Amino acid sequence: MPSMTRTIAPSNGLFKDMEDDDNRRGPERDETDAFHQLVCRLVADGDARAAKAGRRARRTLAQMRRAAR
C-alpha cells in the first residue's frame, strides 16, 4: 500500500527563500533609477566645477589618454 506521507527537502526557511528569489531577479527598477539620478547629479556637478575653472571635463578614453601623457 502506498504511503500518504511525502518527504520535503530541507529549506533555508521562508525568508531566506524569498531573499534568494529576490537576488535572482537582480536590481529593481527604483534602485537603478536612483543610481542613474545620482550619477547625473555628479556629472552635472563635475561639469559645473570644470566650467568654473575654465576647463571641460574629459568624456572619452582618448581624451583621458592624451591628458595623461
Per-residue pLDDT of the chain (69 residues; tens, 9 = 90+): 555 666 655 556 777 888 888 888 887 777 788 889 999 999 899 889 988 988 877 677 887 777 776
**Contact (Cβ atoms closer than 8 angstroms) between residue 67 and residue 58:** yes
C-alpha–C-alpha distance, residues 62 and 6, integer Å? 64
- 60, 53 Cβ separation under 8 angstroms: no
Predicted confidence at residue 11, as pLDDT, reads 56
- 60: its cell numbers: 572619452
